Amino acid sequence: MHIVTAKEMYEIDRFAIEKGGIDGRILMENAGRAIVDQITNLVDNTERILVLVGSGNNGGDGFVIARNLLNKGYEVIVLQLVADEKIKGDAAYHKQLFINFKGKIQLVQEVTVVEQYLSNADVVIDAMLGIGISGEVRQPFKQVIEVVNKLEMLTISVDIPSGVPADEGVANFTAIKADYTFVVELPKLSLYLEYCSPFYGQWRLVEIGLPHTTFSQDNLIETWNQKNVVETLPKRNRYSHKGSHGKGLVIGGSHTMPGSVAMTAKAALRSGSGLITVGTVQEAIPSIASYCMEATYISFLSNEGIITGLPAIDFSSYDALAIGMGMGRSESTASITKKVIVDAKIPILIDADGLQHIKGDLPLIKQRQHPTVLTPHPGEMAMLTGYSVKEILTSPFKVSKQFAREHGVYLILKGVHTIISDPNGRQWVNTTGNAGLAKGGSGDVLSGILLSMMMQNQSLNDALTNGCFIHGASADILVSEQRSKQDLVATDVIDGLTSVFRTLI
C-alpha cells in the first residue's frame, strides 16, 4: 500500500473531486461515518463525548462525527476552538448540519474552560488539526493539547493526532498522545517515523472512497505486508536440487565473535539456501560448526583471533556473499573487505564491521557492476553519511533515498520501521517485528535471511523486502505464541523461521 505525504494526499483528494466528480462534502461525510463505526466499537452510548474541532477539514470531520454519534444516542458536545468565520467550505456545511440536527456547539478559546468541559466528559475526539498543519502548533491548540495529554482520558484522533506532522523532517512538536487514531484512507509518512508513531496509539485505516492512485514520480513509498510476500516469494520446485537455491558465502567472525557468522549461516540455511560456506578464522570454526553443521568452512589466515588474509577464493562459484559480521575493525579486515568488494563479481551484502570499513571507499561500491546491499542501523547510517542519529531518525526516508541513489546501493535502514531503498529511489517499509528484536545478534540473523533471499529466484527488491518481513514475522509469531519481548533472543528468531515459512508457502 502506498504511504503518502500530505502533498500526495491533497493531490489524490483533488483528483477525486476535480476529475472524479465526487463532492468534497461526501468525502467528509464518508470519513466521519467510517470513524463513527470504529468509535461505536470502542465507546458505549452511556459515555459523554467531547469533540474538539479546529478551523480546517479535520474539524469538518469532527462535525460529521458529532452528528452521527448524536443520531446514535450518544451525549455529544462540540468545542469549537476557533472563531466562527474561520470555519469555511465543507466544514461549514457540516457544522450547519450538526446545528440543524440540534447539536450543541460551544465556542471556547480559554484553556481553563476547555479543562472544565474535559473534566465532565469520558471520551475526547480530537478533530483539531489534521494534515494541513504548518509550523509550530499555535494557541489555543498548544495549551489544549497539553491539557488533554495531562488528563489521560480516552482520546481518539481523527486522521492524525493533532500536532503530529504528516511528513518527515520535523523533530520537535507538541501533539496529542492518542489512544486510537483512525487514519483517513491512506497511511501518512509519520506513521512510520519512530518519533511520531507512538503519538498515534493504536491505529487503523478508514476508507472514504478515494482512489489509491499515486501521482508522484519521485516519492514512491509502499508498505510491504504478508500479501506482498505470499505473491512474490518463490515456491520450491519439487525437482530442484541444492544448487538451485543458491550457494552463499559468509565472510566474517573472529575468535571473540564467532556467534555472528554462525547465526548468519544458520539463518541463511533455515531460509532456504542450498549451500552455505563460512569463511572465518581457524580457531572459531569448531564452535561455529557445532552450531551449524550444515555449512562448510574455509579457514582464513589470522592473527590473535582476527582475520588477516584472504585465501584464494573463486567468488564466481557462489551466487552471493555476505561480509562483515563479527569481523572486527582492524586494518587487515578493512583491506580484505575492500578486496572482496572489488573482486567478487556477484551480489554482496555488507553488514556490521564491514560497513565501518567501506566508509572511506564508497566510490568502490558505486563502481561495482553487481548489486550491493548495505544493512546499517541508524548509528551506522550516521557513520556512513556524516549526519547525526537524530537527523537520520528525523528524515529516514529522505536520507536513505539520497544515499541509495548517490552510491547505487540497496539500503536497508534497520529500525522499528525498517526502510528498504533501491538505487532508483523506490522505498518500502517493513510492517513486521517488535521490541524483542532490539538485541545483539538480530542483525546477523537478518543478514543470513537476506543472503538467502538474494539467491532465490526473485527480483532483488522482492528479496530484500521479503527478507525483512520474514525476520520480523518470526519475532512476532514467537512473541505471540511462546516467547516474550523480554526473553526473545536472536537464535530463537532463526528457530521461528519454521512457523513463518509454514504460514507463507
- Range in contact with ligand NPW (rule: CB under 6 A) among 59-67, 195-203, 347-355, 405-413: 59-67
Q: Which sign does the torsion angle of CA 126, 127, 130, 134 carry?
A: negative
Please tell me the count of residues contacting ligand NPW according to CB under 6 A.
Answer: 31
Radius of gyration of the chain (CA): 26
Query: Coil, strand or helix: which one is 188?
Result: strand
Binding ligand NPW (rule: CB under 6 A), the pick from 35, 68, 130, 449 is 130
**Applying CB under 6 A, does 132 fall inside the site for ligand NPW?**
yes
144 lies in the binding site for ligand NPW (CB under 6 A):
no
400: annotated binding-site residue?
no
Residue 332 engages K ion in binding (rule: CB under 5 A)? no
* Spatial distance between the Cα atoms of 221 and 111, rounded to a whole number of angstroms: 39
Stretch that binds K ion, among 68-76, 104-112, 149-157, 324-332 (CB under 5 A): 149-157
Whole-number Å distance between alpha carbons of 364 and 77: 64
Decide whether 162 or 400 has the Cβ nearer to K ion.
162
Selection from ligand NPW, K ion, none that 84 binds (CB < 5 to 8 A by kind) is: none
Beta-sheet pairing, 296-303 with 306-309: antiparallel
Using CA atoms, how far residue 476 sits from 10, 415, 471, 497, in Å, is: 35, 15, 9, 11
Single out the residue of 43, 49, 178, 210 in contact with ligand NPW (rule: CB under 6 A).
Answer: 210
Residue 284 DSSP class: G
Q: Which residue has the cell 446514535?
A: 72
Interaction of residue 80 with ligand NPW, rule CB under 6 A: no
Rounded Cα distance, 194 and 180, in Å: 17
List the one residue out of 229, 219, 283, 295 whose CA is nearest residue 256. 283
Smaller CB separation from K ion, 125 or 404: 125
Site for ligand NPW in 246-285 (CB under 6 A): none
Q: Is 159 in the site for ligand NPW (CB under 6 A)?
A: yes
The partner residues of 182 in beta bridges, in order of sequence, read: 158, 204
What does the per-residue mask of binding to ligand NPW show for 181-200, with x meaning CB under 6 A? ---x----------------
CB 38 within 8 A of CB 204: yes
Residue 158 makes contact with K ion by CB under 5 A: yes
Nearest-10 Cα torsion for 397, 400, 404, 407: 140
Could you tell me which of 364, 429, 358 has the C-alpha nearest to residue 396? 429
Check the annotation: does 94 bind a ligand.
no
Is 104 annotated as belonging to a binding site?
no
Closest distance of CB 184 from ligand NPW, Å: 5
Residue of the chain from 43, 49, 58, 474 that contacts ligand NPW (CB under 6 A): 58
Does residue 470 bind ligand NPW (CB under 6 A)? Answer: no
H helix intervals, 110-211: 111-119, 141-151, 197-200
Q: Which three cell numbers stand for residue 169?
A: 523532517
User: Quick one: 126 or 391, whose CB is closer to K ion?
Assistant: 126
- The identity of residue 54, as a single letter, is G
One of 35, 51, 52, 54 touching ligand NPW (CB under 6 A)? 54
Query: Shortest Cβ distance from residue 493 to K ion (Å)?
Result: 37
- 440 annotated to a ligand binding site: no
Q: Binding site for AMP, residues?
A: 414-418, 443
Residues of this chain that interact with ligand NPW (CB under 6 A) are 9, 13, 27-28, 31, 54-61, 86, 129-138, 141, 158-160, 184, 208, 210
Residues of this chain that interact with K ion (CB under 5 A) are 58, 126, 157-158, 162
